[in-house]
């Protein structure tokens, strides 16, 4: 099964796609985020990168990839990555709301952490770094669809 990943960091969006036919091989395309003057152009660049890596793997290794499908997937994954970055920067109350909206997808441990966070928000208490880290880890897991 193929796996496409889009990550943001250091002013770049990295679009990666792994080959189905050749295990451990894949293609990657970097998109300069900071040098793009509007959101539409950025989406077009991400889309082009997704199509390009799919086309490369199809030609190079014979993977059965449709570039247009992977172009659209790259844009969706980029949007999800931007939402994750925004969620991780948001206040704890907003993070708790996001988790509460998806409570059915949480593990028992994650539900327990969410209960502690909500109690802390209600009472004005403080949370230790491990609990805050668990909230961020859960948000990342949900964003990645794992």
**Pairwise CA distance, residues 53 & 66, whole Å:** 10
pTM check: above 0.75: no
- In the structure, what pLDDT confidence band is assigned to residue 84 with cuts at 50, 70 and 90? confident
Of 108 and 22, more confident: 108
Q: Which contacts of 43-50 are long-range, i.e. CB under 8 A and separated by 24 or more positions?
A: 43/75, 43/78, 46/6, 46/13, 46/15, 46/74, 46/75, 46/78, 47/71, 47/72, 47/74, 47/75, 49/13, 49/15, 49/74, 50/4, 50/6, 50/15, 50/17, 50/74, 50/75
Give tens-digit pLDDT for 46-65.
Answer: 999 999 999 999 999 999 99
Rounded mean pLDDT, 79-95: 83
């Amino acid at each position: 099964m193929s796996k496409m990943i889009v990550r943001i960091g250091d002013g770049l969006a990295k679009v990666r796609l792994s080959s189905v036919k050749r295990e451990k091989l894949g293609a990657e395309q970097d998109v300069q985020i900071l040098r793009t003057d509007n959101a539409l152009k950025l989406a077009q660049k991400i889309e082009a990168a997704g199509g390009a890596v799919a086309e490369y793997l199809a030609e190079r290794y014979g993977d059965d990839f449709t570039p247009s499908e992977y172009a659209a997937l790259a844009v969706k994954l980029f949007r999800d990555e931007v939402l994750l970055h925004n969620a991780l920067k948001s206040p704890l109350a907003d993070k708790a709301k996001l988790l509460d909206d998806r409570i059915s997808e949480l593990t028992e441990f994650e539900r327990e952490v969410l209960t502690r966070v909500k109690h802390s928000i209600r009472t004005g208490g403080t949370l230790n770094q491990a609990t805050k880290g668990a909230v961020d880890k859960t948000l990342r897991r949900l964003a990645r669809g794992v």
